[in-house]
Amino acid sequence: MNVIFIWGKKMKKIIFNITVLMCFTTLFLANAQAQTTSGSDSRSAFAAIEAQGYNYLSSLTIEIIGIGTSGSGVGYGDLNGDGVIDSSDYILLRRFILGIISSINNITAADLNGDGNIDSTDVILLRRYIMEIIRVFPVESMAPTPTPIPTQAPTPTVDPNAKLVALTFDDGPHAQLTPLVLDKLDKHGVPATFFVIGQQINSSTSAVMKRIADSGHEIGNHSWEHQNMNNMSAQAIKESIQKTNRAIFEHTGQTPKFFRPPFLSTNSAMFSSIDLVFAGGVTANDWDQSTTAQQRASAILNGVRDGSIVLLHDVQPLPHPTPEALDIIIPELKRQGYEFVTVSDLFRLKGVLINPSDTKMYNSVP
């Protein structure tokens, strides 16, 4: 669980960084210790984090101007400044560390251990905070108390009872249509999971696959050619899955954990042949071209509950109102207190094991 998700293409750089960081870890720890001597609480908080046995896998040292003013309304962890600390902030930080984006407006809020660097330690801390493993960032317990009223403790910005929902999109990748959905996810700052069809992954969609992965979205397996597997042999089923997994890995470095059966049809041969967890979801009839954006949105909003997987399509014939429906669905679910997560994060946050031996299809978790 304490492993940072890493894109395959960054591996070389990261392996190099491990070597460099081995040399600097001692220095880093000594420095962190020196900076936390202002309070025994902060030391013990930091020591507790260190004791978890983190690996310092990558590091990008950034000059932070004004870090000395921490403790007065910085909003640690809320990198997009929307008032909540959630997986959108996590994705933002991860993209920054990997150099996919070059700046974050609220950069001061990202130095969660208060060491003056924005690096993998902060990514780990943010992830652990969102997963409610820790309740306070080390930098917050280091901050000086600005007023003599200690009873005015900051209100936690993460609701431990936040409702979770996982948006998923089927039948891509497509060079023109998939970006319409990706643009909406960027606009609203939420992660999603894309169930892709293996034979559509080629040189014309390679850039789209990379964009999905680099944006922090998850990629699932939707078979090789969208065939109904009900009448297929176990061998043919396995080949369809494995070819698709290989194509996904070659283009993104991701290995899928989830499978979305074409037409949502399942049978025992599929469950025994496919070593992935089956994901269904709340649907919106968005394969019917006559369904309007509002009708699609209403179907999802009426069907969603805490833990739901939402099943939509990034690829359908034009006119395709699903991207437009996202402009209704996402803000409304945010208003209702939902946090958007990938399917993997939904399982983790709900404490449900991702077990490839399961013989059920999940429409929600648990």
Distance CA 322, CA 289 (A): 10
The smaller minimum CB distance to Zn ion, of residues 111 and 171, is found at 171
Angle at which helices 40-50 and 11-35 cross, to 10°: 150
**Sole window of 15-23, 166-174, 175-183, 287-295 interacting with Zn ion (rule: CB under 5 A):** 166-174
Task: Specify which residues 166 forms β-bridges with.
Answer: 309
Distance CA 259, CA 224 (A): 11
221-260 positions binding Zn ion, by CB under 5 A: none
Tokens of 123: 């990514």
Q: Whose CA is closest to 86, among 184, 164, 33, 22?
A: 164
Distance CA 321, CA 295 (A): 10
Is 313 a known active-site residue? Answer: yes
The smaller minimum CB distance to Zn ion, of residues 91 and 277, is found at 277
CB 297 within 8 A of CB 329: yes
The smaller minimum CB distance to Zn ion, of residues 259 and 340, is found at 259
- The least CB distance from residue 312 to Zn ion, in Å, is 11
Choosing from 119, 170, 218, 345, the residue that interacts with Zn ion (CB under 5 A) is: 170
Q: Does residue 286 belong to the site contacting Zn ion (CB under 5 A)?
A: no
The single-letter DSSP state of residue 282 is B
- The least CB distance from residue 329 to Zn ion, in Å, is 19
Q: Does residue 171 belong to the site contacting Zn ion (CB under 5 A)?
A: yes
Tokens of 39: 């309070």
- The least CB distance from residue 170 to Zn ion, in Å, is 4
Q: Does residue 119 belong to the site contacting Zn ion (CB under 5 A)?
A: no
Among 171, 313, 320, 345, the active-site one is: 313
Q: Does residue 314 belong to the site contacting Zn ion (CB under 5 A)?
A: no
Binding residues vs Zn ion (CB under 5 A): 170-171
Positions annotated as catalytic residues are 170, 313
